[in-house]
Amino acid sequence: MNLLGIDLGSSFVKASVIDAKTGKCLSAVSCPDQEMIISSPKPGWAEQDPQVWWDTTVMAVRKALAAAPGAAAGIEAIGISYQMHGLVVLDKNGNVLRPAIIWCDGRAVDIGNKAFAQIGPDACLSTMLNSPANFTASKMKWVIDNEPGVFNRAASLCLPGDYIGYKLTGRLATTVSGLSEGILWDFPNHKPAQKVLQTFGIPESMLPERVSTFGDQGRLTADAASQLGLKQGIALCYRAGDQPNNAFSLGVLEPGQAAATAGTSGVVYGVTEAVKTDPASRVNTFAHVNHSAENRRLGVLLCVNGTGIANAWTKRLMDASMSYDAMNSLAEKSPIGSEGLVFLPMGNGAERMIGNRDIGAQLIGLRFNGHNRAHVIRAVQEGIAFSLVYGVSIMKSIGAEVRALRAGCANMFLSPIFRNAIASTLQAPIALYNTDGAQGAARGAGKGAGIFSDWKSAFNGLNCVQTIEPDVASVEAYDQAYRRWTAALEKNL
């Protein structure tokens, strides 16, 4: 008995097959070979073609099945993880009407800020737990205002994962967690956020059917099954945004636990049962995968858009043929703090953590006769790490606990400099696990299908492979470097 997990990112689609009995990962693949294109028709915009998502999903699933011979016949359930906060607009026949406006697109910032003032900060924070900001609802309002022809033909709006679910099953659905990430959920009243819908002029009929995060969400159609190389009728039993799912994949379900990831964007996601909101919406609160009206579980999320993408940019700038391992080794030749060189990784659109400002990435304090490639690479990695630490300080300021972090042993957490900078600056340990978002989605599918009777069995086979403790001897040096970084950032705010 096997489980299939699909993780739709903005750069890649990952697919994994898990043996439900042992918890062993039978295959884990990523497609395409090079990052998917993000189109930017205007500065600050970011769009992708949903058909490319589906085509790449088909490619990834077929590749995962090929890497695990015989596994396809045993697939019993499918789970989806997906890039959060995006907007897909569909007509009455389920056809896509325009490119998807994805998570890092900044065009709706002013719309969200205006709605925050119009609805009222207290009303927004007490009802939706966030400002509408630059999330899915605000992006839909941008379409209403700027593309009336699209809006007139629109029948539904959905999140990226909902679209993939629709392509799999022919059933357009979403979850409470999904609606909350779009700022479309009224927490006290447990229903769609009427204040946002009315303010933006979005008909409630455009929202997809609501289904449970864990449970039968539709069955694989004959067409989808043929494309994927699977049998018809397999149940889709789980979906979640990438950050709630990343937390789930690491077993982060209870208050006080926190997960981190550092892919294209960097995130720390802590779970709480108390309503904790930031009046400035620099960090955001959403429904976690195991949230319910009776058992409140909320995820407090900080996001830094310019994370892995900044590291990849540095690689291309320095030497595109250099491996990331070689970059990490070179960076270790530079001391902590890169001899005064500071990097602000805010070059991937408006950053919520700094009030939805788009200040651009910056190298500060560069000396031509003192700094070399090692200093630049280290400054970039430390700058990304410090930006996450800065975000954690905001989380702590509103009472969210972050005593330790869990992360997948992947992406920037493969870099000793990056992870040591976070652990030593936060003075908190980091536990690395042998998992990723696609494996988490597969485990979620097993729980949703009833194959796993409890959380413990769902995480069978999940192992901590390394724990990074704060380096006591380096804490002072990291503290000085972090203070320098913070001072540079605040000069730009």
Domain-located, residue 293? no
- What is the pLDDT at residue 165? 98
Are residues 21 and 138 part of one domain?
yes
Whether the CB-CB separation of 82 and 8 falls below 8 Å is answered with yes
Are residues 138 and 226 part of one domain?
yes
CA distances from 34 to 12, 76, 409, 487 (A): 8, 30, 21, 37
Domain extent for 354: 303-434+465-491
Residue 432, both tokens: 């690395």
Summarize the confidence of residues 294-314 as an average pLDDT. 93
Domain-located, residue 347? yes
Are residues 176 and 316 part of one domain?
no
Examine residue 470 and say whether the peptide bond preceding it is cis (omega within 30 degrees of 0). Answer: no
Q: H or E stretch including 4?
A: strand 2-8
The type of residue at 190 is H
Whether the CB-CB separation of 132 and 138 falls below 8 Å is answered with yes
Band (399; pLDDT cuts 50, 70, 90) = confident
Are residues 327 and 187 part of one domain?
no
Select from 224, 245, 266 the last residue of a domain: 245
Domain-located, residue 267? no
Summarize the confidence of residues 353-378 as an average pLDDT. 95
Are residues 188 and 57 part of one domain?
yes
Are residues 93 and 214 part of one domain?
yes
Tally of domains in the chain? 2
- What is the pLDDT at residue 263? 84
Vertex 256, ends 255 and 257: CA angle to 5°?
A: 95
Distance CA 459, CA 462 (A): 5
Q: What SS3 string covers 435-473?
A: CCHHHHHHHHHHHHCCCCCCHHHHCCCCCEEEEECCCHH
Residue 459 has pLDDT above 90, yes or no: yes
- Mean pLDDT, all residues of the chain: 96
The type of residue at 493 is L
Residue 355 has pLDDT above 90, yes or no: no
Domain-located, residue 121? yes
Whether the CB-CB separation of 177 and 85 falls below 8 Å is answered with no
Distance CA 33, CA 6 (A): 17
Band (468; pLDDT cuts 50, 70, 90) = very high
- What is the pLDDT at residue 419? 96
Spell out the residues 6+ positions from residue 343 whose beta carbon is closer than 8 angstroms to its own. 310, 361, 362, 363, 364, 376, 379, 380, 382, 383, 384
Residue 204, both tokens: 């409630």
Band (350; pLDDT cuts 50, 70, 90) = confident
Are residues 307 and 241 part of one domain?
no
Spell out the residues 6+ positions from residue 328 whose beta carbon is closer than 8 angstroms to its own. 377, 414, 415, 416, 417
Band (87; pLDDT cuts 50, 70, 90) = very high
- What is the pLDDT at residue 410? 87
- What is the pLDDT at residue 84? 95
Pick the closest to residue 437 from 13, 1, 49 (CA basis).
13
Pick the closest to residue 135 from 190, 185, 205 (CA basis).
185
Are residues 177 and 325 part of one domain?
no
Domain-located, residue 350? yes
CB atoms near residue 326 (< 10 Å): 14
Summarize the confidence of residues 23-49 as an average pLDDT. 95
Domain-located, residue 13? yes
Distance CA 139, CA 477 (A): 43
Residues of the chain with pLDDT > 70, as a percent, come to 100
For 92-125, the pLDDT digits (tens) are 999 999 999 999 899 999 999 999 999 999 999 9
Residue 91 has pLDDT above 90, yes or no: yes
Select from 245, 264, 292 the last residue of a domain: 245
Domain-located, residue 284? no
Are residues 186 and 76 part of one domain?
yes
Summarize the confidence of residues 168-176 as an average pLDDT. 98
Are residues 229 and 331 part of one domain?
no
For 253-284, the pLDDT digits (tens) are 999 899 999 988 899 999 999 888 998 889 99
What CATH number is given to the structural domain containing 323? Answer: 3.30.420.40
Lowest mean per-residue pLDDT among 43-47, 95-99, 378-382: 43-47
**Number of alpha carbons in the 13 Å side-chain half-sphere of residue 228:** 30
Residue 444 has pLDDT above 90, yes or no: yes
Are residues 241 and 324 part of one domain?
no
Select from 228, 245, 262 the last residue of a domain: 245
Higher-confidence residue: 411 or 154? 154
Pick the closest to residue 388 from 469, 485, 253, 257 (CA basis).
485
Summarize the confidence of residues 306-311 as an average pLDDT. 91
Domain-located, residue 275? no
For 151-166, the pLDDT digits (tens) are 999 999 999 999 999 9
Are residues 94 and 14 part of one domain?
yes
